[in-house]
Amino acid sequence: MKAGIVVFPGTNRERDMAHALKLITGHAPRMIWHHETSLGDLDLVVLPGGFSFGDYLRSGAMAAHSPIMAEIRRFAEKGGHILGVCNGFQVLTESHLLPGALLRNAGLRFLSQDCHLKVENATTPYTRGWKSGDVFRAPLAHGDGNYTASPETLQRLEGEGRVAFRYSTASGHVSHDDRHANPNGSALSIAGILSENGRVCGLMPHPENLVDPEIGATDGVPLFKGLVEALVA
């Protein structure tokens, strides 16, 4: 799988993502500076976590206007696969490649802790490594992860199976108003969503930080294994 990772000024989880991709796919991804204007030949573009442009103004807002984003938009239009994690998810909503927006966490504090994610739709390239209803652990680390969208958008996301991951308890219980189950207060406990064609995926937590048995656990591995299966076949 040929993957590229986009680096904006202030991106800080590009190495983590590269490590995960290398570990699981065996190939080091290409690092793409935000000033570049061509993606080259890629199967997957990843927008990693961090604080692009300091996350000043709104998280992801300035990165959404970086030169490379025009090319990423074309890539999406051609049906390319794009994964945005954390700040990458925020960049995708700010550039309208995914609907909705990510507001300040409901508790108004940055959260860095493990959370549990429930796989809602296991038929996508991003989720096929799991079964629907599976629950896995992932670290989260963000101040603005509180997903919101208009009622119509939320309804469409639900109706079209475009909610990829939802926050839950370790046993898979979903409860929107309980901070233990839904730490940042996201609408409908949404942690990750898909584009209409299912090829653009954004999620807040960091599966890439849980892929190495030496660091604790491998809960994040199915995401990357599934992508390899889907995109290299």
Partner 1 sequence: MKIRVYVSLKEGVLDPQGKAIGHALNSLGFQGLGEVRVNRVVDLDVPADDSSAAIAKGEAMARALLANEVIEDYSVEVVA
Partner 2 sequence: MTVTIDAKLAQSFGLTGGEYDKLLTIMGRTPSFAELGIFSVMWSEHCSYKSSRVHLKTLPTKAPWVIHGPGENAGVVDIGEGLAAIFKMESHNHPSFIEPYQGAATGVGGILRDVFTMGARPVANLNALRFGDAKHSGTRRVVDGVVRGIGGYGNCVGVPTVGGEVNFHKAYDGNPLVNAMTVGIARKDKIFLSAAAGIGNPVVYVGSKTGRDGIHGATMSSAEFDDKAASKRPTVQVGDPFIEKLLIEACLELMATDAIVAIQDMGAAGLTSSAVEMAGKGGVGIELNLDAVPQREPNMTAYEMMLSESQERMLMVLKPERTEEARRIFEKWELDFAIVGKLTDSGHITVIHNGVTEANIPLAPLADEAPIYNRPMVHAEPPRHISPPADPVGIEHALLTLIGCPDLASRSWIWNQYDGSVGGNTARRPGAADAAIVRVDGTRLGLALTTDCTPRYCQADPKAGGAQAVAEAWRNITATGAKPLAVTDNLNFGNPERPEIMGQFADAIKGMGDACRALDFPVVSGNVSLYNETRSPTGLAQAILPTPAIGALGVIADASKSIGLAMPDNHDLVLVGEIRGELGQSLWLREICHKEEGAPPRIDLVAERHNGDFVRAQIEAGHVAACHDIADGGLMITIAEMVMASGVGCELLAPPHGLPIHAFWYGEDQACYVIATKNAKAMLSAAEKAHVPARKLGHSKGTSLKMADGMSVSASRLREINEAFFPKFMGEGA
Using the rule CB under 8 A, give the single segment among 42-50, 144-152, 173-181, 216-224 that binds partner 1: 144-152
User: Using CB under 8 A as the criterion, what x/- string covers residues 122-151 for binding partner 2?
Assistant: -----------------x-x-x--------
- In the residue annotation, 116 being an active-site residue is answered as no
Q: Confirm if 95 and 58 have CB atoms less than 8 A apart.
A: no
Q: Which residues contact 46 (CB under 8 A, 6 or more apart)?
A: 3, 4, 5, 6, 17, 21, 29, 82, 83, 84, 85, 88
223 binds partner 2 (CB under 8 A): no
CA distance 190 to 202: 11
Instruction: Specify the DSSP element, H or E, that contains 113.
Output: strand 111-119
Catalytic residue ranges: 86, 206, 208
Give the binding site for partner 1 (CB under 8 A): 53-54, 56-58, 61-62, 65, 93-94, 99-101, 103-104, 106-108, 146, 148-150, 185
Give the binding site for partner 2 (CB under 8 A): 9-10, 12-13, 15-16, 19-20, 49-51, 53-56, 107, 109-113, 139, 141, 143, 206, 208-209, 212-216
